Amino acid sequence: MASGVAIVATGVGEARRGLAVSSVTSPCMDPPCLLLGINVTSATRGGDGDPSVNFQGSLRTLPQF
């Protein structure tokens, strides 16, 4: 996806952790799905709660889910 940078976060409350990623792939549109790689040593990997992905960049480059 041509979106610039995406912010990925997991966790709840004080345990919330996040990271910036420069590469996010959409393997399919139905159902909406995103694929990204997170290093096994990252604090963001395996956090509790629902993950979130926020795109930073031009809105016209984002797919409509």
pLDDT in tens, 12-65: 888 888 888 888 888 888 888 888 888 888 777 766 778 888 887 655 554 555
With respect to residue 34, please indicate whether it lies within any of the assigned structural domains: yes
Residue listed under structure tokens 């409509």: 64
With respect to residue 37, please indicate whether it lies within any of the assigned structural domains: yes
List pLDDT tens digits, range 28-40: 888 888 888 888 8
With respect to residue 64, please indicate whether it lies within any of the assigned structural domains: no
Which pLDDT belongs to residue 2?
A: 52
Domain span at residue 25 reads 5-58
Domains: count for the chain: 1
- Cα separation, 9 vs 52, in Å, equals 5
**pTM more than 0.85:** no
By CB atoms closer than 10 A (0-12, 13-18, 19+), residue 33 is: exposed
With respect to residue 20, please indicate whether it lies within any of the assigned structural domains: yes
